[in-house]
Amino acid sequence: MGFSIRVEGIGFEAAHFATYRGQCEPLHGHSYSVAAEVEGDLGGDSWVMDFGELKEALREACARLDHKFLLQRESRELKLEQSGSGWNVSTPAGAAYAFPLADVAALPLDNSTAERLAEYLAGEVWQALRRRGQDGLTRLAVEVWEGHGQRGRFQRERLPLD
């Protein structure tokens, strides 16, 4: 176990419907709140990394989801069709939606749950931090709140060739 820093209070507004047990939730939205924590050794300046850099990486990832419909592109339940102007989505119960391309964040997820969103954002933040030269981090955890008292969390450890 090493040192860690955590940032909170970053968020985004988005619509989604999660699928479960062969069913689909009604279309609805959340004011998502997101936090990230990184762990690693202290550098020469006695810090894991600058809080501002972690906040910036998390804000950039969240901004790509802000005011979008979160489409679970790898859904096992939804029927998806992309056209030149948008996405057509059909649910197991037969509801049909047409979303303009500009309003959709088509994510490589099987479901748009808080847990999967945390996993997706962790990947985006991890890559952003690596591009910024943050190679000494050993762990990243991201939490996504859908509302008060409801959150999903994903944690990744640094892999040897990561």
Report helix, strand and coil shares of the chain as percent, to nearest 5: 20, 45, 35
When the pLDDT of each residue in the chain is averaged and rounded to a whole number, the result is 93
Where are the domains positioned within the chain?
A: 3-157
Predicted structure pTM score = 0.93
Q: For domain 3-157, give its CATH number from 3.30.479.10, 3.40.950.10, 3.40.50.300, 3.20.20.140.
A: 3.30.479.10
- Measured between alpha carbons, how far is 31 from 44 in angstroms, rounded to an integer? 38
Does residue 162 surpass a pLDDT of 90?
no
pLDDT at 159 over 60: no
pLDDT, tens digit (0-9, with 9 covering 90-100), for 53-108: 999 999 999 999 999 999 999 999 999 999 889 999 999 999 999 999 999 999 99
